[in-house]
Structure 1
Amino acid sequence: MKRTLILFLGITLSVFQANAQQLDSFIEDYYTMADAEFNQESAFETVDYVQQYWRLAGNEGFNNSIYHVVEKLKNAGYVLEENAKATDRLTYRIEKRPMSRPTWEPVSGSLKIGNKELLNLKTNFNMIASYSYSTGGEKEYEVVYVEKVSAESLDGMDLKGKVVMTEGSPGRTFNEAVKKHGAAGVITYGLPAYNQPEKHQNSISFTGISNDEEAKAFGVLLSYKAHEILKKTVLAGQTKVKINLETKIYESEELTLVAEVKGSALPNERFVFSAHVQEPGANDNATGVGALGEVASSTARLLKAGKVNPARTITYLFGDEIVSTRRYVQEDAERAKGIKWGMSLDMVGENTAITGGSFLIEKMPDPGAIWTRGKEKHSEWGGRPLKKEQLKPHYFNDLTIGVFDMIGERKNWEVNYNPFEGGSDHTPFLQANIPGLLLWHFTDQFYHTDQDRIDKVSPVTLKNVGIGAMIISFALTENNDRLAHVMLSEASMAATMRLQAELKLSQEALANGGDLAEQKDIINTWADYYRDVFNATLDIEPKGMAAFKENLQATQDALMGYRNMIMGQLK
């Protein structure tokens, strides 16, 4: 039976490869153009500019970052949409909307014990919880340490005008200590294990408190080192600290930058990129802004040179994470019908020799997000098991993995993928049943901390991610007659390799006492998933549809035959 299975696999692979071009040859010209055109130093310069600011929607740093990208796009040939002629294919607009609450930004800050400074905003970029108010100069406060803050733990305490110190959420502590008990502010510490706080003792993870216009209170966030010193000092009886915070809270408007390369033949069909501007880090997410700004600029230069000619529109979004992307997907039902693919660039420039982890492609939900085994592995950010009805079968996963695997091989660059976890700009696409993927890095030991600065960013990585994003957008928007055949071929190869891998894992599970019905369910789910992936290639609407459908049916028949053969091996 083993020889029969091997023979069948060989026949199956030959069917999969018939009448289809392999991905590498299909994207070779795109790779050459993107690799030559993408300016990694320009992308890095944008990252460096953006990362200097503590960015929140509506604040000065956020808005300056938007306008910095605008200047870059204008230099590449993009025209303000309201001034554009009908023949202009490169346009941009800045959408402005009122905000439901004021924006916020830090100006300066320090925390002292006596005359000894524990923290300063200049070197501890995240020390002030967002929406903290100014102290009105340096003031002395009594610190009350509470090991665990709850409604009961603070009952009976006189906290008026004092500062509560604890380990845990500043928001929850703020609500109990300030809003219910009249404290002047809170001092908190909390970093997850993947930040390695005992190694990076000056790291502070950014977070915020509610905007309390009546109390006008504050939150100070501690590093591991500052927490150890302050806790020891307070418990020893020296409970006075000096705090000096200056912040700005003001009315503003939310900006979203929308740039487009208008499609020549199918302008209402779109590939949409998104990169969020807010968050104070360099890798998170000044790198997404820098990489996408250069993707848009490089694409414009290639278009003007006559080297690419997208039939479909390519859209580039820069704004507030999830908010801007969700709005773009939801606010115009007709436009949403034409969004065929979405891709988020979030944390895409890591120098992994410093930050750790690797480049990752977060896949659309596939069975690996139900049964996470073998090469499937969640990041330390974490994910929950999905259900079958949440799967999103599509060729987008295998196309993206195939493109980046090729770049990884040529650039000697590590490329990995992870099951769906959510939490970034790809989720609004998926929630609208639009194929959506995330390009990112993890584990990053400096994630969400003020050690996420420009020295952790790699221009080479920015380019590797940028050219992969460009290649994928060109492949899907130029409407090449070979595209559907290439996608079917790539998905077919991926399906065969996946079923092979799952067979081995299921056999190992059964040898260790696993349930036969469950193992058959896993194999069946993967086979059904890839059958639907094959069907998704029809949305490319290839020429010669009748012949393509015959090839599609033969491919599906081969897959189902291979699935049945595998089922016979499970005992």
Structure 2
Amino acid sequence: MIKDLVAIINKEFSGLRAKDYVAEIIQHHRIQASPGFRAAAKVVAKLLTEFGIENETLVYPADGKTYYWASLNPQEWEATEAKLELIEPENRILADFNEIAIALIQRSAPIKETVAEVVLLEDGERREEYKGLNLKGKMVMTKGMIERVYDLAVNEFGAIGIIYDGIWDLPLVRGRCDIPDALQYTSFWWRPEDKKCFGFVLSPKVGEAIRKFFRQGKKVKVKAMVKSRFYDGKI
């Protein structure tokens, strides 16, 4: 019975065609409440129409004011360019939004080209970690929870941005060392009263290279730039 079902599926479905459809959809950066999300929805609607399937695209306000139950719809966000460059103790590009979109912490605020010293945090999730640190005008590097690091490092102690090189551990499945070249998807989820900032994501492999500089007692400086905007839009 199962063999008969598989035979029917194999006859009617094309794996290559399915792959092509996925490739067409994923060329758009599909962050909630963004032009890319809307563009991907249009691709799906067009395909469904071509297949003769009736469809409707539902649209809701993305204005940072409208709630659905307890969920606040964020403002629409668009990023067009962002780059993080290591300038001390050596020079190299660490992250480029136009090369890998999730190398930018999603919903990052814009910032003009800025040079900043980087301060390494253990995790940045506990207030005692910040004792004696001067973070004014600096970026912090962390593997800790972005939300907590934002609250402490940025909101309370004056850091201007975050560099994140963490990977969410799945016990007995994977850890940081198992996928050293991967980038963890991260996003800010702003509340109306929040002071927005920016941030970048590094792989564990690149992150460890930067951490080695700190262990060697070297000062780390970066140049950062983000072109993005928030506006009342749709999702």
Deviation at 1:61, TM superposition (A): 1.6
Instruction: Tell me how far apart the structure 1 counterparts of residues 121 and 6 of structure 2 sit (CA, whole Å).
Output: 58
1:246 is matched with which residue: 222, 227, 234?
Answer: 227
Q: CA offsets, 1:159-188, max 9 Å, x none?
A: 221111122222211111111112101112
**Counterpart for residue 270 of structure 1:** none
How many residues end up aligned between the 2 structures? Answer: 216
Which amino acid is the alignment partner of residue 218 of structure 1? F
1:223 matched to 2:203? The reply is yes
Instruction: Tell me how far apart the structure 2 counterparts of residues 219 and 233 of structure 1 sit (CA, whole Å).
Output: 20
Deviation at 1:234, TM superposition (A): 3.7
Instruction: Tell me how far apart the structure 1 counterparts of residues 180 and 100 of structure 2 sit (CA, whole Å).
Output: 11
C-alpha contact 1:124 1:204 (8 A) present in aligned 2: no
Aligned counterparts, 1:44-193, within 5 A: 44-78=19-53, 91-99=54-62, 100-114=73-87, 115-136=91-112, 138-149=113-124, 150-191=126-167, 192=169
Deviation at 1:107, TM superposition (A): 2.6
Which amino acid is the alignment partner of residue 225 of structure 2? N
TM-align CA RMSD? 2.5
Instruction: Tell me how far apart the structure 1 counterparts of residues 111 and 55 of structure 2 sit (CA, whole Å).
Output: 41
* Unmatched segments (≥5 aa) in structure 1: 1-23, 79-90, 255-571
Instruction: Tell me how far apart the structure 1 counterparts of residues 45 and 17 of structure 2 sit (CA, whole Å).
Output: 14
Q: CA offsets, 1:209-232, max 9 Å, x none?
A: 232676331122121222122222
Deviation at 1:202, TM superposition (A): 2.7
User: CA 1:75 to 1:244, structure 2 compared with 1: closer, same or farther past 3 Å?
Assistant: same
C-alpha contact 1:106 1:246 (8 A) present in aligned 2: yes
C-alpha contact 1:104 1:247 (8 A) present in aligned 2: yes
1:37 is matched with which residue: 3, 7, 12?
Answer: 12
Aligned counterparts, 1:348-363, within 5 A: none
Which amino acid is the alignment partner of residue 76 of structure 2? T
Deviation at 1:132, TM superposition (A): 1.0
Q: CA offsets, 1:354-388, max 9 Å, x none?
A: xxxxxxxxxxxxxxxxxxxxxxxxxxxxxxxxxxx
**SS state of the match for residue 44, structure 2?**
helix
* Unmatched segments (≥5 aa) in structure 2: 63-72
Deviation at 1:111, TM superposition (A): 1.9
Q: CA offsets, 1:112-167, max 9 Å, x none?
A: 2213222223444321111211222x210111112132122224532221111122
Which amino acid is the alignment partner of residue 228 of structure 2? T
User: CA 1:121 to 1:64, structure 2 compared with 1: closer, same or farther past 3 Å?
Assistant: same
User: CA 1:34 to 1:199, structure 2 compared with 1: closer, same or farther past 3 Å?
Assistant: closer
C-alpha contact 1:103 1:250 (8 A) present in aligned 2: yes
**Counterpart for residue 476 of structure 1:** none
Deviation at 1:58, TM superposition (A): 2.2
Instruction: Tell me how far apart the structure 1 counterparts of residues 189 and 159 of structure 2 sit (CA, whole Å).
Output: 14
Which amino acid is the alignment partner of residue 184 of structure 1? I
Instruction: Tell me how far apart the structure 2 counterparts of residues 127 and 31 of structure 1 sit (CA, whole Å).
Output: 40
User: CA 1:31 to 1:145, structure 2 compared with 1: closer, same or farther past 3 Å?
Assistant: closer
Which amino acid is the alignment partner of residue 39 of structure 1? S
User: CA 1:119 to 1:58, structure 2 compared with 1: closer, same or farther past 3 Å?
Assistant: closer
**SS state of the match for residue 55, structure 2?**
strand
Q: CA offsets, 1:487-507, max 9 Å, x none?
A: xxxxxxxxxxxxxxxxxxxxx
Aligned counterparts, 1:279-318, within 5 A: none
C-alpha contact 1:54 1:106 (8 A) present in aligned 2: no
Instruction: Tell me how far apart the structure 2 counterparts of residues 59 and 223 of structure 1 sit (CA, whole Å).
Output: 25
C-alpha contact 1:197 1:203 (8 A) present in aligned 2: no
1:237 matched to 2:224? The reply is no
**Counterpart for residue 203 of structure 1:** 182
Instruction: Tell me how far apart the structure 2 counterparts of residues 55 and 253 of structure 1 sit (CA, whole Å).
Output: 13
**SS state of the match for residue 95, structure 1?**
coil
Instruction: Tell me how far apart the structure 2 counterparts of residues 125 and 97 of structure 1 sit (CA, whole Å).
Output: 25
C-alpha contact 1:201 1:224 (8 A) present in aligned 2: yes
Which amino acid is the alignment partner of residue 251 of structure 1? D
**Quick check: 176-185 or 110-119, which moved more?**
110-119
Higher helix share: 1
**SS state of the match for residue 127, structure 2?**
coil
Instruction: Tell me how far apart the structure 2 counterparts of residues 49 and 105 of structure 1 sit (CA, whole Å).
Output: 20
Instruction: Tell me how far apart the structure 2 counterparts of residues 70 and 248 of structure 1 sit (CA, whole Å).
Output: 27
**Counterpart for residue 86 of structure 1:** none
Aligned counterparts, 1:423-434, within 5 A: none
Deviation at 1:205, TM superposition (A): 0.8
Which amino acid is the alignment partner of residue 237 of structure 1? K
Aligned counterparts, 1:516-531, within 5 A: none
User: CA 1:156 to 1:197, structure 2 compared with 1: closer, same or farther past 3 Å?
Assistant: closer
Rg larger for: 1
Q: CA offsets, 1:469-495, max 9 Å, x none?
A: xxxxxxxxxxxxxxxxxxxxxxxxxxx
Deviation at 1:97, TM superposition (A): 1.6
C-alpha contact 1:54 1:105 (8 A) present in aligned 2: no
Which amino acid is the alignment partner of residue 250 of structure 1? Y
Higher strand share: 2
Deviation at 1:197, TM superposition (A): 4.6
User: CA 1:161 to 1:215, structure 2 compared with 1: closer, same or farther past 3 Å?
Assistant: farther
